[in-house]
Amino acid sequence: MTTETRTMPEHGTLHRRKTYKCDCEPCLARDREYTNTRARLKAYGRWQPFVDAEPTRQHLRMLMSYGIGWQRVSRMSGVSNGSVSQILYGSYGSSKSGPTKRVRTQTADRICAIRPTLDNVAPSARIDATGTRRRLQALVANGWPQLRLGAQLGAHHRLVWGQIRKDIVEGATAHQVRDLYDQLWNVDPATRGVHPRYITQAKSIAAREGWAPPGAWDDDYIDSPAAKPDLGEHVDQYTALAENAQWLIDEQGYTRAQAAHRLGITGRHLERALAHGRAATQAA
C-alpha cells in the first residue's frame, strides 16, 4: 500500500486557510479579501462563485496546442496542479469522475488570463517552428547571410539552414531567434560590416526560395501557420527598385550611391530603375 504525499498549498491562499486552518497573516488577509469581495458582489446581485468549466477547459487545450503545458499554466496562474488537472481530466483514482463541470470564477479568470504567446512557452517545450522559420528567412531576404546569423546565434551556419527547414523547434531556440529578429529586422547588414557580395548572395537565395522579407509579416501573426505574407501589389522589378530607392533617398536621407549599395545593385542599375519609375509615373 502506498501513501500519497500531498504538497501544502502556499501561504496567502484561500485553500490553505480554509482547508488547513492556517492562521498566518497572509492567509488571514486573503480570507478577509475573499469575504469582503463576496459581500460586496452579493450586495450588487453579482455574486457568481462558480462558472461552467468548459470554456476554461477549451482555453487550456488551446494553450497546450501552442506548447504551453498545463503544469506551466498552473505555475503561471497560481492555480494548483490538482485543480488544473481536474478541469482537464477529472479526479485521479476514480473511473466514474470525469472532468470538472464547474470551476470557481477566480480560477477561470486566472487560467484564461494566460495568453498563447512565445514568452509563455517553456524553454524545453517543443513547438511549431513556423515563426522561427519565417524570421530567419526574412532576415536572409534582407541580406543577412546565414554565416552571420549563425555567429549571432552562437551556432554553425548549417544549423541555421537546418532551423529554416524544421517543423518543430525548442522554445529556447524560438526565443533566441525571435530576439535576434527584433534586433536586426530593420538593420542594413552593410552597416554591420557584411560585404556587399554576401548581402547580394543572401538576397538571391531568398528570392530563389520565395522567402518573404520582414515587411511582409505582421508581428502579431508571424507565428501563425495560417498567416500569409503581404507582398503588396504585383509590380515589375524596376518599379519595385525605384520605389524602394526613392523611399531611402526621401525618407532616410540616402544618397543615390548609398541607396544602390543598400539595395545590392550598381549605380547604373539604380539610374535605369529610377528612369523607368519616372516614365511609369508620367504614363499614368
Q: What is the pLDDT of residues 243-274, one digit of tens each?
A: 777 877 887 777 888 777 777 677 777 887 78
Cβ-count burial of 163 within 10 angstroms (0-12 exposed, 13-18 middle, 19+ buried)?
A: buried
Residue 6 clears pLDDT 60, i.e. is over it: no
> Does some domain include residue 259?
yes
Residue with cell 552593410: 190
pLDDT at 193: 93
pTM of the model: 0.59
Predicted confidence (pLDDT) at residue 46 exceeds the cutoff of 50: yes
Report, as an integer, the average pLDDT of 53-76.
89
Tell me, yes or no, whether 106 and 156 share the same domain.
no
Which grid coordinates are listed for 189? 547588414
Q: Which of 54-63, 75-84, 231-240, 272-281 has the lowest mean pLDDT?
A: 231-240
| Residue 269 host element (H or E) | helix 267-283
**Is the model's pLDDT at 137 over the cut of 90?**
yes
Cell numbers standing for residue 84: 488544473
- The grid coordinates listed for 139 are 532576415
Domain boundary among 216, 251, 271: 216
Asked if residue 230 belongs to a domain, the reply is: no
pLDDT of residue 14 exceeding 50 = yes
Residues 140-149 have pLDDT tens digits of 999 999 999 9
Residue 4 lies in a domain: no
Classify residue 221: in a domain, yes or no: no
Identify whether 196 is part of a domain: yes
Structural domain containing residue 66: 50-116
Q: Are residues 241 and 203 in the same domain?
A: no
Sorted by sequence, the CB contacts under 8 Å of residue 37 that are 6+ apart come out as none
Top-confidence residue, 4 or 167: 167
Q: How confident is the model at residue 1 (pLDDT cuts 50, 70, 90)?
A: very low
pLDDT at 280: 66
pLDDT beyond 50 at 5: no
176 or 40, which is more confident?
176
**In the prediction, which pLDDT does 96 show?**
53
> By C-alpha distance, which of 86, 77, 142, 145 is closest to 112?
77
Q: Are residues 178 and 104 in the same domain?
A: no
Q: Are residues 25 and 54 in the same domain?
A: no
What CATH number did the domain enclosing 111 receive? Answer: 1.10.260
**Residues 121, 123, 128, 130: what is their CA dihedral angle, to the nearest 10 degrees?**
100
71 within a domain of the structure (yes/no): yes
215, 185 in Cβ contact below 8 A?
Answer: no
Specify whether the CB–CB gap between 178 and 129 falls below 8 A. no
The total of structural domains in the chain comes to: 4
Residues 163 and 200 in one domain: yes
Angle 257-262-265 from CA coordinates, rounded to 5°: 70
Closest CA to 190 of 146, 154, 152, 145: 145
pLDDT of res. 235: 52
Answer yes or no: is 105 within a domain: yes
Residue 224 lies in a domain: no
Are 143 and 206 within one domain?
yes
Shared domain check, 259 and 201: no
Last residue in a domain, options 216, 250, 266: 216
Nearest alpha-carbon partner for 112 in 80, 79, 82, 139: 79
Which of residues 186, 216, 246 is at a domain's end?
Answer: 216
